Amino acid sequence: MRTCAALIGIFAAILGAACGVQQAPSSPVRSAAPVRSDVSADTPVLVSPASTAELATNLGGRSSGHAEIHGTTVQNVRDESYSFTAISSGDSPVAKGQVDAEWLRFSGETVAVHATVTCLAIVGNTAWIGARVTRFSENQTEDPTAIGRPIVIRVRDLGEGHETADVASLVFFPPPNSNGDLTHCSTRPDFPVLRTSGSGNIQVIPR
């Protein structure tokens, strides 16, 4: 009986470690600015594990478009717009493309970001895109310390036509010196929060 109890305890420990909760990445673009995040740094982001079939069939394709989004004071983003192109290349989720984003903070600063796409994952009509910053400026002043930082976005194509607007997230910054872009594409979390895109068109095309 003692042996059986020990085996059960070991099995429970292994299972608990395998089912850990992923924490949301930290957010701020610049330490002096208010926190720019859809959730606080302490809020867990629960990720539903992909099924074996999804892992085998998903993830390739291309996504592109333009989004215009209103943020809130929580993110310190009043208005944000970005254009992007992401095309799968090589083994999933590796991709290539570009992201150009601009936003106005409630605190008055303007921010412009250019980034090179590193990864893309597609499931149905939703795309997860990761990239690395190649240019970052605030109030038209370049900040070379931001070069190389990961960024992530999530978009959903709700079809052509004018009745339904597509939805997209704000640009989100995982922690510096992390693989947050690749983790975003590999785990495909329900994050960042999707918001209505006021104009523009988003396309998500699985292969």
pTM of the model: 0.73
Task: Tell which wins on pLDDT, 154 or 58.
Answer: 154
Residue 161 is predicted with a pLDDT of 67
The C-alpha torsion from 65 through 68 and 72 to 77, rounded to 10°, is 90
Q: What is the mean pLDDT of the segment spanning 180-200?
A: 94
Q: What is the pLDDT of residues 88-111, one digit of tens each?
A: 998 889 999 999 999 999 999 999
pLDDT of 166 higher than 50: yes
Q: What is the pLDDT of residues 5-51, one digit of tens each?
A: 443 343 343 334 333 433 333 333 433 333 333 333 322 233 333 44
- Measured over the CA atoms of residue 67, residue 68, residue 71 and residue 75, the dihedral's sign is positive
Spell out the residues 6+ positions from residue 172 whose beta carbon is closer than 8 angstroms to its own.
25, 27, 37, 38, 151, 152, 153, 191, 192
